[in-house]
Structure 1
Amino acid sequence: MRRPTHARARTGAAVAIALAALASGCTIDPSGADGKPPSEGSGQGGSVLAVKIDNVGPARPQTGLDAADVVYVEQVEAGLSRLMAVYASRVPSTIGPVRSARETDLELLRQFDRPVLAFSGAQSKLLPLIADAPLRALPPGKAPGDAYFRGGGRAAPHNLFLRPGALKAAPRASGLESTGFRFGPRPAGGTPETRRTVRFPAARFTFDWVEYEGRWRIAMDGERARTSEGKELGAATVVVQYVKVRESRFHDRSGNVSPFTETVGSGRARVLRDGRAYDARWERPTAEDGTEFTTADGDRLPFAKGQVWVVYAKA
């Protein structure tokens, strides 16, 4: 089986196209004609902007989540959830509410080439690990003074927002090459499925297939997920990735132990696209690799073009 590699090549012409699209607010299709991310193995690679986003009731509706290329759903203390939104092909003017980082994020982000990580802070003993990680950490205090602001008519800590333009992160679509994801037409097989619910100890996510929209509408904790502008959230592909979730050595202010989600290794997954579900195997040999998804016969499993949600469910 061919394993995913951390591609770092991209042509100068492709860079110009990506930057022009970012300037105009366009979305760049994350897949090429052959189903691979753009210009894989051909030029210089790109980076991404990753933002930790609050996901408890008082933090909703979120802002800018609909523009993310990939949304990772992680378990945090007390069985709650938090989101890691990754931006490469389009960056909105505002993102949030922004919350704190976790140890899980450091392993997850090592697949990218020096990503920018925007977050509100972290447990004091975790900060040295963040400082040593191969990423650009830009929390308040290290980012430009106008990058973060309090607003939204909410109480702290659910009111910290980010102006990503102030970070000058300049993510580009080629930054998605290293995820290991492949995009293409719907493969044969699979089983019809129009609803899937994933439960954490204190959170749940439901994905409903809407044929006329060609996407999976998202509900969180029983309520339809929308942006702060009222736009319903939806994903072209949903990946339920079964992983080991164990205790870490860190905890929150209340003494709750922070879970650590192991994203390196292998296991099973359920991939939802086009109103069908596919049983898959995931493999990520090292933290520097992306995650490869294959069918039972070993073929790469392509995703539908558009936003991808990856939910880390406990195996």
Structure 2
Amino acid sequence: MDGVATVGRGPRARGPRRRGTTGALLAALTAGILLAGCTVGGPNDNGRGSDEGRRDDRISAPPAGSLLAVKIDNVRAARPQTGLDAADIVYAEQVEGGLSRLMAVYATKFPETVGPVRSARESDLELLRQFDEPTLAFSGAQGKLLPLIDMAPLHAKTPEDAGDAFFRGDEKPAPHNLYLRPEKLIDSPPGTDALTTGFHFGPAPDGGTPETSRTVRYPAARFTFTWSDDRQRWLVSMDGTPTITTDDVRVAPATVVVQYVTIRESRFRDYLGNNTPYTETVGSGRAEVLRDGRAFEANWDRRTPTDGTAFTAPDGRQMNFAEGQVWVVYAKA
């Protein structure tokens, strides 16, 4: 389309995926994992993690073209966060106890520091399959999940195997004080070609409904996006408090996607007995796209884990996002 910039065209925008030595075993295992809905959480969610069952032959040093995804703490004690404003995409998901956690995705630029870094969830493996061997930075995970992370087509990096890239700050108590220096993991950001998510950027579609504020609620967390005419962006607030980074920058994406998905109970619980939700990001359903001070009804579709998520208008036309940061908030369908 004339005048439309496209960021990524699905998972093969950069050529065939490299599967390494695990090949068919990985594909079969991952499919079984996702169907079973195994999740994470537990006593290792403390910034240390566990090396139980970790493989020695997992993907090692991230290549120069590797996209970086960082799991970011989002309880009140973890705020303000660092480096959140520099992300290309921020995913918000529900975790134990109805709380929320963020995954920040970096491809066009790396901030000096990102954090606080927290633990991974099994849903992350499904979400990240749409990218070509991304690097996932996290603090740890439940022991039973770590071998599955190691077998996934990504570069898993924790303080245990990339100690130079992580450090503890002194302004927050543990476990809310673990930070990452991205350039200690990857020499330089890979660029927009790494964003193989199916997102498309360009002029706004016709129609839409004027929108000044939108709130998405989880059982114990909420996100509010307020339109700013001055900035032409959505100002983020979380749990009623403006989201401002440690560098005193108000987080303000150009596009907010409220994506309605299945969030179901898993078979696993954390060490407090809370069930770990599993967010299904493969499938199809309804979404709302907020851009330019308007709300647009949309449909989303992701047919396999290696596909990007495509968003279309009700009439089937491609749904364009506004240029700039995108927030995707997973809401229960």
Same fold (TM over 0.5): yes
- Equivalent residue for 2:107? 88
| Aligned mates of 2:290, 2:266 — CA distance in 1 | 30
| Aligned mates of 2:212, 2:141 — CA distance in 1 | 38
2:14–2:193: 8 Å Cα contact kept in structure 1?
Answer: no
- Equivalent residue for 2:20? none
Alignment counterpart, residue 173 of structure 2, candidates 130, 155, 177:
155
Q: How does 1:24-35 map to 2 (within 5 A)?
A: 34-35=4-5
Alignment counterpart, residue 215 of structure 1, candidates 233, 238, 245:
233
2:90–2:104: 8 Å Cα contact kept in structure 1?
Answer: yes
2:9–2:198: 8 Å Cα contact kept in structure 1?
Answer: no
CA deviation digits over 1:36-86, x for unaligned, max 9?
Answer: 127998866953100000000000000000000000001000000000000
Distance 1:54 1:169, change over 3 A: farther
Q: Identity, % of aligned pairs?
A: 63
Q: Does 1:298 align with 2:268?
A: no
Alignment counterpart, residue 7 of structure 2, candidates 37, 43, 48:
37
- Equivalent residue for 1:11? none
SS at match of 2:5: coil
Distance 1:194 1:133, change over 3 A: same
Distance 1:152 1:189, change over 3 A: farther
SS at match of 1:78: helix
Q: Does 1:271 align with 2:312?
A: no
Alignment counterpart, residue 213 of structure 2, candidates 177, 183, 195:
195
In the comparison of the two structures, how many residue pairs are matched? 283
| Aligned mates of 1:265, 1:42 — CA distance in 2 | 21
The answer for unaligned runs of 5 or more in structure 2 is 17-64
The answer for unaligned runs of 5 or more in structure 1 is 1-31
Aligned-residue offset at 1:93: 0.7
| Aligned mates of 2:224, 2:91 — CA distance in 1 | 15
| Aligned mates of 1:123, 1:249 — CA distance in 2 | 13
- Equivalent residue for 1:236? 254
| Aligned mates of 1:286, 1:72 — CA distance in 2 | 19
SS at match of 1:260: strand
2:70–2:137: 8 Å Cα contact kept in structure 1?
Answer: yes
- Equivalent residue for 1:312? 330
| Aligned mates of 2:183, 2:13 — CA distance in 1 | 28
Aligned-residue offset at 1:202: 0.3
Aligned-residue offset at 1:176: 4.2
Q: Does 1:174 align with 2:174?
A: no
SS at match of 1:179: coil
Taking structure 1 as the reference length, the TM-score comes to: 0.86
Q: Does 1:49 align with 2:68?
A: yes
4+ residue segments displaced more than 4 Å: 38-46
Distance 1:129 1:178, change over 3 A: same
Taking structure 2 as the reference length, the TM-score comes to: 0.82
2:261–2:332: 8 Å Cα contact kept in structure 1?
Answer: yes
1:39–1:174: 8 Å Cα contact kept in structure 2?
Answer: no
Alignment counterpart, residue 142 of structure 1, candidates 152, 161, 176:
161
